[in-house]
Amino acid sequence: MMEHTEALSRYIGNFVDELVASGLTHAVISPGSRSTPIAMLLEAHKEIDTTVIVDERSASFFALGIAKETKKPVVIVCTSGTAAANYYPAIIEAFYSRVPLIVLTADRPHELRDVDAPQAIQQLNMFGEYPLWFHEMALPEDTPSMLNYVRSKAARAMHIAMIEHGPIHLNFPLREPLLPDFNLENLWGKRQDESFYPTIAGEMMLSESHLHQLSKRLSRFEKGLLVTGPLANETEAQAIVDLAVHLQVPVLADPLSQVRTIGANEDVIIESYDAILRSTERREQLRPDYIIRFGAMPVSKMYRFYLESHVKAERYVISEQQQYREPSAIETRFIHSNINLFVEGMLEQSDPQPHPSNWLTNWKRMDEEACRILSKHDSDGLTEGETVAQLTNLLSENELLFVGNSMAIRDVDTFMINVQKKLRIMGNRGANGIDGVVSTAAGTAKTGKHVTLLIGDLSFYHDMNGLHAIKKEQLSLTIVLINNEGGGIFSFLPQKENENYFESLFGTPLGIDFKHTADLYGAYYAHVNTVGEFTKEYEQSLLQQGLTIIEVRTNREENMLWHQKKWQEIDEVLSQME
């Protein structure tokens, strides 16, 4: 028995130590028996900051949030059985939004599998094709070769997660007894000076001749467009703006691209393209010669319609990963390169354009008009769009805004305009789920910064369990809760007309009082009706530590009509300009 305990302790001890040697700083642990040695040794390692969260779904999204903020892999660990299945949504989000996550699931040893043993489910490859790498670990042994083995797997998991950006799944069969022995000498094993697989990762970039050919080809055209979807890195955002200035072409910038909030040159940035492109005629008229997209697809549906109406424009997608990120099924040239190096090369290969083209000036004039109308305060109370506009004013320099899906991200796209300061905007746009949003935002606050979360009532309700970590970890968050009693986005869709089904299947009002939610989790709560009240409560929330929930109550129907009125006004004004 002592031999078993020693082998178990050293095997897991070496594994954990190698994770740290490879750069691990954070782990999120959920309680359970089978995972005992992994949980205890992660907790015991001095260089790992651990968080314990009971609900595995919340735990995995919380870890996703830490990984998004720190840009480093985070470990999650849970016991065998359905516990692991609760990780599934966050693993999917990590895969699609390219966030490094190391998933460790404890399992029954092989003799207890497939024989109806308690809490034993099929865990091999249980997350399908989402993990970039799955490995069934060997049973613990402490021979030198097996300690090398376990270190090599830890280093490889960290390495793949970091370089290829995504989730890794390691399944650990563990026999009882499961308690590690902390009194063993040299429990953590012998660490090399650096990681087991020290890696020099080269950068992906185009050759000079490729860059030359491309810039020559593009120089034939006048009407170029740069488009940026979600990007995590502010230096990339700045590089894209530099390229647009050099070429004197507009940049259509999604809010998650960071381009709108790095305090960059505004003469090329088009913030209101979703509103501009709402008219079919205007989409037709604004005929681009080429479109270069960086990052994922922007949130704007109108942009997608625009793309589809210009199949003849040459289109390029720049991404470091060798993946086919183009949903339109229109001929597209993929360029696999680091964005900064691509821009550097393009700047070297082409001469700067001295003057803005008519194409750019025209886009910019439309953008100015649209932004003027979008930022006009024209209601007595506080609409959803005005909440975003006012929040944009209130956010302090370098503040992190986490944005929920559905109307929250769309309203940020539309109404977060004329931003005069640096902000960081994040969201879960990999799979666009309304699940796990509170937990992910909470995870981003784990490093100690204040975070603001903008979220709809259904998404908030979906992940109320996530509030517990905020209380327990004493994190500092202001949640701006837009309560339109259900799914506001569906009022913009055709099913809105079907009165017999709409409320029950799509509107889905909850009819609950979120004041009680705030009480349950010890949050400060305020319900606001006006811009003034919102401002006061938001500012107050920054002064107090902990969690504040500011609820803005709106009406779905009025919200839809208010948006339509804005878009109509923009259309009328832009039509007169043509």
Residues near ligand TPP (CB under 6 A) are: 405-408, 432-435, 456-459, 484, 487-489
Transcribe 28-84 into DSSP letters: EE---STTHHHHHHHHH-TT-EEEE-SSHHHHHHHHHHHHHHH-S-EEEEE-STHHH
8-state DSSP, 434:
S
Cβ-based nearer residue to ligand TPP, 205 or 482: 482
Taking the complex as a whole, how short is the minimal distance between the CB of residue 493 and ligand TPP, in angstroms?
10
Closest residue to ligand TPP: CB criterion: 456
Cβ distance to ligand TPP smaller for residue 13 or 487: 487
Question: What torsion, rounded to 10 degrees, do the Cα atoms 352, 367, 535, 397 define?
Answer: -10
Nearer to ligand TPP, 37 or 487 (CB): 487
What distance in Å separates the CA atoms of residue 328 and residue 301, rounded to the nearest whole number? Answer: 12
Question: In the bound complex, what is the minimum distance in angstroms from residue 458's beta carbon to ligand TPP?
Answer: 3
Least Cβ distance, residue 217 to ligand TPP (angstroms): 40
Nearest approach, Cβ of residue 535 and ligand TPP (Å) = 22
Provide CB contacts within 8 A for 129, sequence distance 6+.
Answer: none
Instruction: Count CB-CB contacts under 10 A for residue 505.
Output: 12
| Smallest separation (angstroms) from ligand TPP to the CB of 423 | 21
- The answer to whether 575 and 397 are in contact (CB under 8 A) is no
Q: Quick one: tokens of 547?
A: 């969690």
Residue 242 or 457 having the CB closest to ligand TPP: 457
- Helix or strand or coil: residue 180? coil
Of 179 and 505, the one with the shorter C-beta distance to ligand TPP is 505
DSSP alpha helix (H) spans, 416-549? 437-444, 457-462, 467-472, 499-501, 514-520, 531-543
| 556-577 helix and 384-394 helix, angle to the nearest 10 degrees | 80
CB 240 → ligand TPP: shortest distance, Å? 28
Q: How far is the CB of 167 from ligand TPP (least distance, A)?
A: 18
Count the helices and strands in the chain (H runs, E runs).
Answer: 22, 18
**Nearer to ligand TPP among residue 408 and residue 480 (C-beta):** 408
Token pair in block for residue 492: 């913009």
| Residue located via tokens 């979906």 | 462
Each residue of 76-93: b (16+ CB within 10 Å) or e?
A: bbbbbbebbbbbbbbbbb
Is residue 546 within 8 A of residue 476, CB to CB? The reply is yes
What are phi and psi for residue 427, nearest 5 degrees? -160, 170
Residue keyed to tokens 């302790």: 9
* Environment class of 222 (CB within 10 Å of its CB; exposed 0-12, middle 13-18, buried 19+): middle
Contact status, residue 466 vs residue 438, Cβ threshold 8 Å: yes
Tell the smallest beta-carbon distance from residue 229 to ligand TPP (Å).
18
Under DSSP, is residue 432 helix (H, G, I), strand (E, B) or coil?
Answer: coil
Q: How far apart are CA 415 and CA 200, in angstroms?
A: 43
Q: At closest approach, how far in Å is the CB of 332 from ligand TPP? A: 26
User: Strand 74-78 relative to strand 49-52: parallel, antiparallel, unpaired?
Assistant: unpaired
CA distance 74 to 52: 13
What is the rounded CA–CA span in Å between residue 66 and residue 89? 16
Cα separation, 78 vs 220, in Å, equals 57
> Shortest approach of ligand TPP to residue 56 CB, angstroms?
16
CB closer to ligand TPP, 188 vs 490: 490
Q: How far is the CB of 404 from ligand TPP (least distance, A)?
A: 6
Count CB-CB contacts under 10 A for residue 577: 9
Closer of 138 and 505 to ligand TPP (Cβ): 505
Distance of CA 14 to the CA centre of its chain: 32
Question: Of 410 and 446, which CB lies nearer to ligand TPP in the complex structure?
Answer: 410
Structure tokens, 214 = 């491309």
**Cβ proximity to ligand TPP, 418 vs 432, nearer residue:** 432
Nearer to ligand TPP, 343 or 550 (CB): 550
Residue with smaller CB distance to ligand TPP, 162 or 453: 453
Q: Which is nearer to ligand TPP, 229 or 456 (CB)?
A: 456
CB of 555 to ligand TPP, least distance (A): 11
Q: Crossing angle for the helix pair 56-70 and 88-97, nearest 10 degrees?
A: 20
Judged by CB, which is closer to ligand TPP: 69, or 435? Answer: 435
Q: At its nearest, how many Å lie between ligand TPP and the CB of residue 517?
A: 14
DSSP assignment of 104-129: EEEE--GGGTTTT-TT----TTTTTT
In the complex, the smallest distance separating the C-beta of residue 504 from ligand TPP, rounded to whole angstroms, is 13
Task: Count Cβ atoms within 10 A of the Cβ of residue 536 and give its class: 0-12 exposed, 13-18 middle, 19 or more buried.
Answer: middle
CB of 127 to ligand TPP, least distance (A): 17
Nearer to ligand TPP, 131 or 433 (CB): 433
